[in-house]
């Protein structure tokens, strides 16, 4: 696939925005996630409109009136090193592009295109003004960039690059739905609540929990050497019957808990951790309704904290999957107001150090965010999801909108994935579960 991009146009709020300070406050939960979150949203030819790009761009200007920080610039304070948004009306780069093929020729742009990384790179515009800027220099990129790529069949892909410090998955999905409502000419069903000071650290910060999510796990298994290996990525689709069997094995009432317990054990085994190696599991928990009082409806920002479980690999792999599931349930129950306030204060006291990822599995669940539900006037997206393969220790859960199955996308060092294949560590649900080939993608880092 070859994509030709037109020159970007800067889109600004199409109307008066509320009076605001020069700098927009970002909470401690926003500070450690200043990375670009790239997503793609595929609209099929049967529902697309010829003027889709114009409709989307016009609606963007109108929704920015409500989400005015999204058109600003990310800056770092010289005094304390904190991130904030300068309300300078920098604007949102908007690019219209044309592909030289039909959508069906590309395949599944979210999961299983043979050259997925190359395809996704052409569908998302990061909006850097200087092509020589370092790829990880997020201060050099706009907070939000948009690309609409038109295909010969009439379908198109909406590609977004949004700085994660602006929004977690819930807030990003609400922004997309609000944008779509502007396109349809209807009032916002959930106007954004932009005041993030409700998650400010306490005047006298109090760290009341150990917060093992930030703790460094001693490497006694030689895991550091595996970081030099290329990663191989796999996507597995798990249908309702297989999920039901797994939930029975885990004795868990939640699909998330059962699947997370299985993945934590599988990745720890695949990484060949020694029995005495401490293995850490981290996963995001939405704190919107867990703080007291709950956050206002439409809260726009990062409201998730990382729940954490730590076990020796020996205990984790020597016990049943139901034991791991119980630990996960306990961690979820601990994530109440006191824990969340303590986590915010921990970042205040510690200076914003990012969580350690040694011997860690980090699970992020996209399957309930509802990105695909945004209707710009021609129906929901046929596909919607991340436009990047997971990095490092991250495991993604997504929902296949075609059949409702849960897709698990993960990457492991090459030697670990080979060992996992030989022992059927990942594919084995204790009953030789069959993974259909069309849902199994082997992405080799050497190919992109």
In the set 195, 219, 286, 375, the catalytic residue is 375
> Which domains can be identified in the chain, with CATH numbers?
3-199 (3.30.559.10), 212-429 (3.30.559.10)
Q: What is the pLDDT of residue 360?
A: 95
Confirm if 390 and 232 have CB atoms less than 8 A apart. no
In the set 58, 98, 164, 195, the catalytic residue is 164
Element (H or E) spanning 43, and its range? strand 36-43
Confirm if 151 and 99 have CB atoms less than 8 A apart. yes
Q: What is the pLDDT of residue 231?
A: 85
Confirm if 141 and 128 have CB atoms less than 8 A apart. yes
Radius of gyration, alpha carbons of the chain: 22
Distance CA 51, CA 54 (A): 5
Q: What is the DSSP string of 129-156?
A: S-TTS-TT-GGGS-SEEEEEEE-TTS-E
CA-angle at 227, arms to 221 and 233, nearest 5°: 110
Q: What is the pLDDT of residue 135?
A: 43
Q: What is the pLDDT of residue 424?
A: 57
Distance CA 291, CA 398 (A): 27
> Residue 372 catalytic?
no
> Residue 219 catalytic?
no
Render pLDDT for 28-82 as a digit per residue (tens, 0 to 9).
Answer: 999 988 889 999 999 988 766 779 999 999 999 999 999 999 999 999 988 888 9
Residues forming a β-bridge with 193: 299
Confirm if 215 and 279 have CB atoms less than 8 A apart. no
Residues forming a β-bridge with 280: 310, 360
Q: What is the pLDDT of residue 372?
A: 81
Residue from 251, 273, 276, 275 nearest 262 by CA = 251
Distance CA 49, CA 8 (A): 21
Q: In what order do the strands lie in the sheet with 73-76?
A: 23-25, 83-86, 73-76
Q: What is the pLDDT of residue 365?
A: 92
Q: Sort strands 156-163 and 406-413 into parallel, antiparallel or unpaired.
A: unpaired
Question: How many C-alpha atoms does 82 have within 13 Å on its Cβ side?
Answer: 19
- Longest CA pairwise span in the chain (Å): 61
Helix, strand, coil percent values for the chain (each to nearest 5):
30, 25, 45
Q: What is the pLDDT of residue 400?
A: 78
- Its pTM stands at 0.89
Q: Which residues of the chain have pLDDT under 70?
A: 47-48, 111-117, 128-140, 252, 352-353, 390, 401, 419-448
Distance CA 411, CA 444 (A): 10
CA-angle at 289, arms to 285 and 290, nearest 5°: 60
């Amino acid at each position: 696939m070859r994509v030709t991009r037109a020159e970007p146009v800067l889109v600004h709020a199409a109307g008066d925005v509320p009076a605001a300070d020069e700098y927009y406050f970002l909470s401690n939960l926003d500070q450690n996630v200043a990375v670009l979150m790239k997503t793609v949203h595929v609209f099929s030819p049967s529902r697309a409109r010829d003027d889709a790009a114009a409709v989307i761009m016009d609606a963007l200007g109108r929704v920015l009136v409500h989400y005015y920080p999204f058109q600003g610039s990310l800056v770092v304070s010289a005094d304390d090193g904190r991130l904030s948004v300068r309300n300078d009306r920098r604007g949102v780069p908007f690019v219209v592009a044309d592909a030289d093929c039909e959508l069906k020729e590309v395949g599944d742009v979210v999961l299983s295109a043979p050259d997925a990384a190359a395809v996704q790179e052409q569908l998302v515009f990061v909006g850097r003004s200087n092509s020589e800027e370092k790829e990880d220099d997020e201060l050099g990129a706009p907070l939000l960039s948009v690309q609409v790529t038109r295909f010969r069949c009439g379908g198109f892909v909406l590609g977004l690059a949004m700085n994660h410090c602006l929004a977690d998955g819930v807030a990003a999905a609400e922004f997309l739905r609000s944008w779509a409502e502007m396109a349809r000419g209807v009032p916002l069903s959930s106007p954004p609540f932009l005041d993030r000071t409700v998650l400010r650290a306490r005047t006298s910060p109090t760290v009341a929990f150990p917060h093992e999510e930030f703790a460094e796990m001693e490497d006694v298994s030689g895991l550091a050497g595996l970081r030099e290996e290329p990663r191989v990525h796999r996507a597995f689709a798990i249908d309702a019957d297989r999920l039901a069997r797994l939930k029975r094995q885990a004795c868990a009432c939640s699909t998330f808990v059962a699947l997370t317990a299985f993945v934590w054990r599988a990745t720890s085994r695949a990484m060949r951790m020694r029995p005495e190696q401490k293995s850490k599991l981290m996963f995001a928990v939405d704190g919107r309704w867990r703080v007291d009082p709950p956050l206002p409806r439409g809260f726009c920002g990062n409201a998730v904290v990382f729940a954490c479980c730590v076990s020796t690999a020996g205990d984790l792999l020597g016990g049943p999957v139901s034991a791991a599931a119980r630990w996960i349930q306990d961690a979820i129950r601990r994530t109440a107001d006191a824990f969340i306030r303590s986590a915010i204060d921990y970042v205040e006291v510690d200076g914003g150090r990012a969580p350690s990822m040694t011997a860690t599995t980090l699970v992020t669940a996209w399957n309930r965010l509802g990105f695909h539900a945004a209707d710009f006037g021609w129906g929901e997206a046929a596909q919607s999801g991340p436009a990047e393969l997971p990095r490092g220790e991250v495991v993604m859960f997504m929902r296949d909108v075609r059949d409702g199955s849960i897709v698990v996308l993960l990457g492991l060092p090459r030697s670990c994935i080979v060992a996992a294949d030989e022992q059927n560590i990942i594919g084995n649900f204790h009953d030789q579960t069959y993974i259909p080939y069309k849902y199994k993608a082997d992405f080799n880092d050497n190919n992109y």
